[in-house]
Amino acid sequence: MLTPVRKTDRRIRATYGRYLEEFEVGDIYEHRPGRTITESDNIQFSLLTMNAHPMHCDKEFASKSEFGQLLVNSGLSLAIVLGMTVNDVSAKAIANLGWTEIKLTAPVFCGDTLYAESEVLAVRESKSRPTQGIVTTRTRAFKQDGTQVMEFTRMSLIPKSGHAVGD
């Protein structure tokens, strides 16, 4: 006969993001879930950002283009992919220090689902902030069929363990 084991009450707080010490060069984070972009997403983002290019909001115009359909606003695609990286890369960040080498390598259409991954390229302690460091990542995004649609490099200012807001 088994004796029941009584568990003590435990409280576990969800974590979000990583500290500087948790990043290792060469690690690749596969960001999930993916995100399907709708026609509504595209038109709302385009109009919100005052980008009324007919390739984003005029289906008849876009149907006569080389793509034959509406293109998703590249600013929306970039924002979604960047957002997908937050939990793994920058949720504890003090600041984003910049994005470089943004490349849009294939078109994104309404109905496409985007997935992304980020590779850690560099990790270094800050020279002027002893409780922080800089993490450089390269993010690549893919459509549901595996076609790469973008990539960019990003630098984030990340706290060391015990030095994040809320620690």
Tell me, yes or no, whether 64 lies in a domain: yes
Residues in the chain: 167
Rg (CA), the chain: 20
pLDDT number for residue 3: 64
Q: Is the pLDDT of residue 16 over 90?
A: no
The string of pLDDT tens digits covering residues 131-145 is 999 999 999 999 999
For the entire predicted model, the pTM comes to: 0.87
Range of the domain at 85: 21-159
Tell me, yes or no, whether 92 lies in a domain: yes
Q: Average pLDDT in the 31-57 region? A: 95
Domain count, the chain: 1
Residue 84 vs residues 14, 79, 108: alpha-carbon distances, Å: 18, 9, 16
Q: Average pLDDT in the 25-41 region? A: 96
Tell me, yes or no, whether 50 lies in a domain: yes
Look up the CATH number of the domain holding residue 145.
3.10.129.10
Tell me, yes or no, whether 9 lies in a domain: no
Tell me, yes or no, whether 5 lies in a domain: no
Tell me, yes or no, whether 151 lies in a domain: yes
Tell me, yes or no, whether 37 lies in a domain: yes
Give all strands (DSSP E) within 13-147, no chain letters.
28-36, 95-104, 113-125, 132-143
Confidence of residue 165 (pLDDT cuts 50, 70, 90): confident
Tell me, yes or no, whether 3 lies in a domain: no
Are 89 and 137 in contact by the 8 Å Cβ rule? The answer is yes
